[in-house]
Amino acid sequence: MLKINDIHTYIGDSYILQGVSMEIPEGRVVSLLGRNGVGKTTLIYSIVGFRPIRKGSILFEGRDISRLPSHRIVRSGIGLVPQGRRVFSSLSVDENLEVPFKCPARSVKDFNLERIFQIFPILKERREHRGGKLSGGEQQMLATARGLISRPKLLLMDEPSEGLAPLLVRDLGQRIRHFREQDLTILLVEQKLSFALEVADDVYIMSKGKIVYHSTPENLRRDEEVKARHLGI
């Protein structure tokens, strides 16, 4: 579904992504791991057009989206759950869910408002509450719901478990598995190794702006040398 070919991205004079290549097959959850500051969020931002790439290409369903503006990338079928949730604190839950672009329905399993409230019933109860008044877990649900309601084919999730209690992380994992069963493809950027391995079909590791490892979760789970060298575990 998504093919990233040798992309190079700078922030000012800082050379962040130094020839990144990876593939996200349709209907799978792919986890991207790595220490802080290695370029994972920059990769997410490059995919959605927030950080223009200088070299390489990004193909979504065979179409080059590398130089498209962000709103056209989202309309093509890519949703984003950003790091830090980024909900609008002064807007209600309903108003937060009105902000994203509503793309044409992708399938009979469309993530419309009714389905969003079935998946996250607490948001239905809180729909008049302002985003800033929600708990951390509720804000994460709202951020995820906002990414889903744009009706994506591919959902980019950047550190969704950050700051969540263990019970909420477990619940998040169940929801990600549910999304995959609904034919949603997911690129998951994560710091929590156990969580990433639990939900993923494929795993990549990034280090210093490059992809240095690609395997199944089972192989990485057994590879103590790779975990120690690239993840500090």
pLDDT digits (tens, 9 = 90+) for 212-231: 999 999 999 999 999 999 99
> Residue length, the chain?
233
- Whether residue 85 is predicted with pLDDT greater than 70 in this model: the reply is no
Whole-structure pTM value? 0.86
207 forms bridges with which residues in the sheet? 210
User: For residue 211, what are the β-bridge partners?
Assistant: 206
Return the structure tokens found at 143. 């951020």
pLDDT of 102 over the 90 cut: no
User: 185-189 and 154-158: which strand pairing?
Assistant: parallel
CATH of the domain at 102: 3.40.50.300
Host domain of residue 108: 2-231
pLDDT of 150 strictly over 80 = no
Number of folded domains that form the chain: 1
Q: Which residues contact 30 (CB under 8 A, 6 or more apart)?
A: 22, 24, 186, 187, 188, 200, 201, 202, 203, 204
Taking residues 131-152, what's their average pLDDT? 84
